[in-house]
Structure 1
Amino acid sequence: MRVKRFLIVVSILLFGILLVQINQTSQLKKQYQTLKTEYSNVQSSHETIHKIVSQPTVQKTNLKASKARVKQFIDLVQNNKASDYQNKLRDFATLSVINQLTNTLAPSVQNSTLAHYDVPVVAISKQWEDKARFLVIAKSDVQSVAWQVTYDVANQRVTNISRLPLKGAFDNEK
């Protein structure tokens, strides 16, 4: 009889332990799913952080190439006649920029011999996403001209251009 009672008590204890284990298993499954989701979120955010951290060198390379293209563009604008813009600027700018330069920003009087302009300054004034805004100064023996150029880095095209007022643009101006 004692053995029978002892076996019943042990059976009840083992059954209780089994129920506790089954209950904990379901809770552990829930915790496992939660941690798995958190881990995947952390992993994806880590990849994003890694991409953001690695981009400055890519952006720096893109901006160097963009700076060179903008310099070539302004050199072509300043050292060619407005009638040649359609052919010479096709690879550098959008059609609207070429039309704007041809119609409104080109000098109203073109000499048969143009003064040669150098482009000593090309500076980045603002950058956002795939666009960069440059400040460009073209200088000849007689005058200096300042340009504000918006450049689309992804498409490698000038998307907007404007002439800026430059104090002392003429050497004899005080």
Structure 2
Amino acid sequence: MSRRKAGYILLVSFLIVMSILNIKQQVTLNHEFNRAQADVKQAKAQAQQTTTMVDNPAKQIERVNQAQKNVQDWWEIVVNQKPNDYDNQLKQHFSQRALNTLNNSLSASVTFANRSHFDIKSVALMSHFDNLLEFLVVTQGQQVSEVYQVTYDLDLDQVTDIQRQVLKGAY
């Protein structure tokens, strides 16, 4: 009888261990399945967006033109406002990284102590890859001209990066 009881206990414990392992494996498989499903959904969305760009180039050109106008309007704020006001006025249009770059390293040249006025001479599309547009923004003050490379994300509808470029020659 004791052997029989031990056999039942061994069988029941084996079944419990197997069911625990099965549940653990099922959780892992569900997690992997959900991740794969999200990847498929993202790939379909990207394929749809690519198809839309190819199918409707006029709409893409319109989006690029609107982005160029946005960059020009927002850069007007940059050259005509105090650096303290950037966070309030540009936080919806600039990523935090771009705002930090603007405040920490570029604002000293954008706004001189005498508050020289800068005019935007041109905002030109430099490159377009996927949904990232790179614009070249040329500003001119009374004493100096400056060039900035501005990266604009069409999906986020905001400036994601700013870099000052070297201006060679006379503009």
When normalised by structure 1's length, the TM-score is: 0.62
1:72 offset after TM fit, Å? Answer: 1.5
The answer on 1:59 being equivalent to 2:60 is: yes
1:105 offset after TM fit, Å? Answer: 1.6
* Structure 1 outlier segments of 4+, above 3 Å: 47-53
Q: Higher helix fraction: Structure 1 or Structure 2?
A: 2
Contact 1:147 1:164 in 2 (8 A): yes
Match for 2:71: what amino acid?
A: V
Bigger drift between 83-92 and 57-66 goes to 83-92
Q: Distance in 2 between the 1:162 and 1:49 partners? A: 28
Instruction: Tell me: CA distance 1:52–1:107, structure 2 relative to 1, closer, same or farther (3 Å).
Output: closer
Instruction: Tell me: CA distance 1:121–1:77, structure 2 relative to 1, closer, same or farther (3 Å).
Output: same
Contact 1:136 1:148 in 2 (8 A): yes
Which one has a bigger Cα radius of gyration? 1
Contact 2:53 2:59 in 1 (8 A): no
Alignment gaps of 5+ in structure 2 = 1-47
Match for 2:100: what amino acid?
A: N
SS in 2 for 1:154: coil
Instruction: Tell me: CA distance 1:55–1:117, structure 2 relative to 1, closer, same or farther (3 Å).
Output: same
Aligned ranges 1:1-174 → 2 under 5 Å = 51-107=52-108, 110-111=112-113, 113-168=114-169
SS in 1 for 2:101: helix
When normalised by structure 2's length, the TM-score is: 0.63
Match for 2:149: what amino acid?
A: Q
